[in-house]
Amino acid sequence: MANNSCAKKLGQATRELITKDESQLSLGASFQYQQLQLSQKLHTTLDLESLIDLYFESLLNQYGITSLIYFCPNDGIEISLGSPTEFHYGQRLFADEDFLGTMTIYCQIELKESDEKRIRQLTQIFAFSLRNALAFSRLKLSSQTDFLTGAGNRAAMEASLEREFELAQRHDHPLSVLMLDIDYFKAINDQYGHPFGDKVLKALVDELKLVARTSDTVFRFGGEEFVLILSNTNTYGAVVIAERLRKAAERLRLVSDSGKSVSLTISIGAATLHEHEYAKTLIQRADEQLYLAKSNGRNQVRGNTHHIQQQNPANEIAIV
């Protein structure tokens, strides 16, 4: 009888042990499947933002993550998704020896140690896809950037203008462009040489980027002509921004190889999208306003309905 009782207890204990082992194996298999699923999803895109969005979704569904912030100091990239909450976990990202930036994950409650470990493992899988996406992003950026000045090139300008045009049409927002030109640039090249002329172009673009709004991108249209696309900006706003850029250019001082201080001025034409107008004609009208600014004395801003002249002591906006 005693032997039967012991055998019964031993059998029960064995069944409990087997059930526990099966449960652990099941959890392990489930996480392996999750890793495989994530890897397959991440291989579907090389777009950086789409890739990070896919990774965020995988954590959101599985671990209740509320926010994710990716920062890559080497490329000046910061992407934020969701809403940050109290608890957060940071991780430096590497693929082999390549540093890819940092990832900060936010959640509403403190993660279990096991979940934190799994997220770190998933992030390692993510890092190798991230390295490919960063390389693709750099290649794409270089193909859209003017090598000399660092401004966007003509192809990038046309793509950006088309995108902003569609957004303006869809949301009924104003859209303006500025076209600017360095006054007497040929004389600068002739007097100080083309290498110095290149230095002037680069210095101007750097200054334009500093003064312009972060949402406004600078493009090299050709030669010494540049274009800025001003989203959600009417004519008055465009002229105000243009005047700010004109004054910034006027303050620039560059030193020639001979040690001489050289200043420059720019002329700017502004145009705002009309109803039923195409993006191409918007650029043409900005170019026409630039021509008027140059023919009327240079170093001034000219718009469709307003212009600001450097000769005007009060720098008022005058109706024309």
**pLDDT score, position 17:** 40
Give which of 122, 179, 123, 145 is closest to 294, Cα–Cα: 179
Q: Lowest-pLDDT range, 47-61, 91-105, 247-261, 295-309?
A: 295-309
Q: Examine the pLDDT at 67 and tell me if it is beyond 90.
A: yes
- According to DSSP, the β-strands at 318-319 and 306-309 are antiparallel
**What is the 8-class DSSP label of residue 151?**
S
- Looking up tokens 């083309």 gives 194
Domain 154-319 classification at class level: alpha beta
**pLDDT score, position 104:** 95
Which is more confident, 124 or 21? 124
**pLDDT score, position 5:** 56
Residue pair 100/65 in contact by the 8 Å Cβ criterion: no
Q: How much of the chain, in percent, has pLDDT values that exceed 70?
A: 85
**pLDDT score, position 139:** 79
Query: What is the Cα–Cα distance from 300 to 266, expressed in whole angstroms?
Result: 7
**pLDDT score, position 304:** 65
Whole-number average pLDDT of the chain? 86
Residue pair 179/226 in contact by the 8 Å Cβ criterion: yes
**pLDDT score, position 194:** 95
Give residue 75's pLDDT band: very low, low, confident or very high (50, 70, 90): confident
Residue pair 242/231 in contact by the 8 Å Cβ criterion: no
The yes-or-no answer to whether 21-143 and 154-319 have a common fold is no
**pLDDT score, position 307:** 41
Classify burial at 273, counting beta carbons within 10 Å of its beta carbon; exposed 0-12, middle 13-18, buried 19 or more.
buried
Q: How many CB atoms lie within 10 A of CB 242?
A: 29
Domain edges within the chain = 21-143, 154-319
Residue pair 301/243 in contact by the 8 Å Cβ criterion: yes
Strand, helix or coil at 164?
helix
Q: Examine the pLDDT at 20 and tell me if it is beyond 50.
A: no
Residue pair 238/301 in contact by the 8 Å Cβ criterion: no
Q: Lowest-pLDDT range, 22-36, 215-229, 233-247, 258-272?
A: 22-36
Quote the Cα angle for 64-66-67, to 5°: 135
Q: Examine the pLDDT at 64 and tell me if it is beyond 90.
A: no
Query: What is the Cα–Cα distance from 14 to 7, expressed in whole angstroms?
Result: 10
Q: Which CATH architecture has domain 21-143?
A: 2-Layer Sandwich (3.30)
What are the angstrom distances between the C-alpha of 116 and each of 64, 120, 271, 314? 12, 6, 54, 62
Give residue 144's pLDDT band: very low, low, confident or very high (50, 70, 90): confident
- Looking up tokens 């777009």 gives 47
Type of residue found at 211? V
